[in-house]
Copies of this chain bind each other. A is one copy, B any other.
Amino acid sequence: MLAFEVTAQCPHSRARTGRLTTAHGSVETPLFMPVGTKGTVRGILPDDLERSGARMLLANTFHLSLRPGHETVERLGGLHGLMGWNGPILTDSGGYQVFSLSHLTTVDEDGATLRSIVDGSPVRLTPERVMEIQRGLGPDVAMAFDHCPPDPHDRDGVGAATDRTHRWLARCVRAWRDNGAAERGQALFGIVQGGAFEDLRRASVESALEHDLPGYAIGGVSVGEDRPAMLAAVEAAAPLLPDSKPRYLMGVGTPLDFLDAIERGIDMFDCVTPTRHGRNHQAFTSEGRVNLRNVAWRDDTARLDDDCNCAACTQFSRGALRHLCKSGEMLGGILVSIHNLTFFQRLLSDIRAAIAAGTLPTLRARCARAQRGVRER
């Protein structure tokens, strides 16, 4: 159902390149998946996603279960039909929404009760229910339902959530085997929790590995912790995960986050950063970040990023992009989103090439220089 092979190993770090093969084709790792929360990467046509270099997308189980509902998605040809996307798709499990909507959520041993973001009605998620929804949505990779604790530094809370995650994983695996999803070729990834505690991260990895799954994710990061805490969580977990399986760091992040995590052995990422920043008119460029609403660009005929061949960079000047952004025209946010998506994909492509060539440290130095050159005029 899902195959993974390592194709090159970095001589300077734990970074590696690989190839992930799914029922909807192969993708090269390290890999960045744009986020299509409700079955669409906001404002971006599938062809433009493909032109950006995206090869695998993420969609959100919780949102899609509410609207249009997984039964409707299944009748419409699954997520591939709904999204007009023939490449691989991964769905998260709703575990992150249990965290991010925690003010609307109660968790018990059997599952979690959330409030619908559509109409406020209660929504019950259990491991079995989540696996049933994902079976209907039909992604290539489904994620286990985990309990992401609200405070990664609260040892008691993290311990309880991590233990529960392990019990839920066992139920997810059983449901996935029993409900036909495994047979249909849907892969299941387990999720490692453990918060900011190295010993709990290790214990969580050991527990997850009791199930021989096609891949494993590190969850409970990107929840408001600082950068060293995020890297510590990766360092505690990644080396214990088998080299033969893909490692996915959920919800991360920014260009330097990618490099830090890839050097620690991570293969897969997702984040809303390129599109959310794009809609807010913030561009990632090879010379740092650019705020396209800034008056400095008003009469500027230069392109946004000399190194980029996206539609925003080849067909519009900085001045034209500023006009669109300042006028509240949706094309402004769309073009900056397309640019950011292209920037992220090119970065990942450069990273893959640098790993294979043994030049990752050079690429890191270049990225760090761009980071220091942040332009927030």
The distance from the CB of A123 to the nearest CB of chain B, in whole angstroms, is 16
Instruction: Find A319's partner among B46, B72, B311 (CB 8 Å cutoff).
Output: B72
B48 touches A316 (CB 8 A): no
A43 contacts B by Cβ under 8 Å: yes
B299 touches A75 (CB 8 A): yes
A45 touches B48 (CB 8 A): yes
Q: Which of A306-339 touch B at CB < 8 Å?
A: 311, 315-317, 319-320, 322-324, 326-327, 329-331, 334-335
B317 touches A81 (CB 8 A): yes
The distance from the CB of A62 to the nearest CB of chain B, in whole angstroms, is 14
Chain B hits for A323, CB < 8 A: 38-39, 67-68, 72, 76, 82
B334 touches A84 (CB 8 A): no
Q: Which of A70-102 touch B at CB < 8 Å?
A: 72, 75-77, 81-84
Q: How far is the CA of A82 from the CA of B322 in the complex (A)?
A: 10
- Return the chain B residue nearest A330 by Cβ: B43
A47 contacts B by Cβ under 8 Å: yes
A44 contacts B by Cβ under 8 Å: yes
Known A43-B334, A327-B67, A331-B40; contact A77-B301, beta-carbon cutoff 8 A = yes
Q: How far is the CA of A225 from the CA of B68 in the complex (A)?
A: 41
A42 contacts B by Cβ under 8 Å: yes
B331 touches A44 (CB 8 A): yes
Chain B hits for A334, CB < 8 A: 43, 45, 330, 334
Instruction: Find A317's partner among B76, B299, B316, B331 (CB 8 Å cutoff).
Output: B76
Chain B hits for A42, CB < 8 A: 329-331
> Which one of A40, A47, A315, A317 has the greatest number of beta carbons of chain B within 10 Å?
A40
Instruction: Find A43's partner among B38, B82, B301, B331 (CB 8 Å cutoff).
Output: B331
Q: How far is the CA of A42 from the CA of B45 in the complex (A)?
A: 15
A124 contacts B by Cβ under 8 Å: no
A301 touches B40 (CB 8 A): no
- Return the chain B residue nearest A300 by Cβ: B76
Chain B hits for A320, CB < 8 A: 39, 76, 81-84
Known A38-B327, A40-B329; contact A311-B76, beta-carbon cutoff 8 A = no
Q: How far is the CA of A376 from the CA of B292 in the complex (A)?
A: 41
A277 contacts B by Cβ under 8 Å: no
- Return the chain B residue nearest A66 by Cβ: B327
A298 contacts B by Cβ under 8 Å: yes
Chain B hits for A330, CB < 8 A: 42-43, 330, 334
Q: Which of A19-71 touch B at CB < 8 Å?
A: 38-40, 42-48, 67-68
Q: How far is the CA of A299 from the CA of B45 in the complex (A)?
A: 21
Q: How far is the CA of A42 from the CA of B42 in the complex (A)?
A: 15
Q: How far is the CA of A76 from the CA of B303 in the complex (A)?
A: 11
Q: 25 A-B residue contacts at CB 8 Å?
A: A38-B327, A38-B329, A39-B324, A39-B327, A40-B324, A40-B329, A42-B329, A42-B331, A43-B331, A45-B48, A45-B335, A46-B315, A47-B315, A67-B327, A68-B298, A68-B323, A72-B298, A75-B301, A76-B299, A81-B320, A82-B323, A84-B315, A84-B320, A330-B330, A334-B334
Give me the 10 closest cross-chain CB pairs, A-B, nearest first.
A84-B315, A76-B319, A75-B299, A68-B323, A40-B331, A43-B330, A82-B320, A40-B329, A38-B327, A84-B316
